[in-house]
């Protein structure tokens, strides 16, 4: 089932990708980190699909929630079943715009990215700094931002509320190659 979702998402985004103005990755990296007084929770996802249109600076990112890997299997199970309900909300997405993206050849540095983050069926407008680099014909976007769990209507039971931070740090590194 996981492979099916990846194929469907890939086909949808690839149909939108044309010419060399598009850069694509199917192996982007996104992680999140929760620090609380009881424990730290970290999860990694290396199956992130991202497309950047260099002519406009538009970006689209999608990932399957079940692709987050945790150090402890029980954390992963609770994350998918109790918190993000990945059977009901299987993917997360971001659509937005990289600001000041007019001249890709000269673009190497920090700029801002703005757009809509969708998680758990809820949308939130976000804006964050992003490091944009062009190395060996590879477009690299990296950075981090924080999100409040409550903004996405993710319920944390009272019995474990001290185990999970109310604000989660999300980090990303997306290495795009020209789409041919």
Give residue-wise pLDDT tens across range 137-168: 899 999 999 999 999 999 888 888 888 899 99
CATH label, 2-11+21-178, candidates 2.40.128.110, 1.10.3720.10, 2.40.50.220, 3.40.50.11890: 2.40.128.110
- Are 143 and 130 in contact by the 8 Å Cβ rule? The answer is yes
Answer yes or no: is pLDDT of 6 > 90: no
**pLDDT at res. 17:** 42
Where do the domains of the chain lie? 2-11+21-178
What span, in angstroms and rounded, lies between the C-alpha atoms of 133 and 127?
Answer: 19
With cut-offs at 50, 70 and 90, classify the pLDDT of residue 8. Answer: very low
**pLDDT at res. 16:** 47
**pLDDT at res. 1:** 52
**pLDDT at res. 150:** 92
Q: In 54-166, where do the E strands start and end? A: 58-64, 69-70, 91-98, 109-119, 122-135, 138-148
- Are 67 and 92 in contact by the 8 Å Cβ rule? The answer is no
CA-derived radius of gyration, the chain: 17
Question: Using one digit for the tens of pLDDT, what is the confidence trace for 96-137?
Answer: 999 988 765 566 888 999 999 999 999 999 999 999 998 898
Whether the model pTM is above 0.75? yes
With cut-offs at 50, 70 and 90, classify the pLDDT of residue 20. Answer: low
């Amino acid at each position: 089932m996981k492979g099916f979702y990846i194929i469907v998402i890939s086909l949808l985004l690839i149909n939108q990708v044309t010419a060399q103005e598009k850069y694509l990755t199917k192996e982007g990296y996104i992680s999140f980190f929760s620090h609380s007084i009881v424990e730290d929770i970290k999860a990694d996802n290396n199956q992130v699909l991202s497309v950047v249109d260099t002519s406009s600076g538009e970006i689209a990112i999608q990932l399957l929630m079940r692709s987050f890997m945790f150090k402890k299997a029980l954390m992963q199970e609770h994350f998918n079943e109790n918190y993000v309900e990945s059977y009901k909300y299987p993917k997360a997405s971001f659509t937005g715009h990289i600001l000041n993206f007019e001249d890709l050849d000269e673009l190497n540095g920090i700029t801002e990215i703005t757009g809509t983050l969708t998680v758990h069926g809820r949308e939130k407008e976000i804006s964050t700094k992003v490091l944009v680099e062009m190395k060996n014909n590879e477009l690299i976007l990296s950075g981090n931002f924080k999100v409040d769990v409550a903004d996405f209507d993710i319920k944390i039971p009272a019995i474990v509320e001290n185990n999970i931070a109310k604000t989660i740090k999300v980090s990303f590194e997306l290495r795009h190659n020209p789409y041919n």
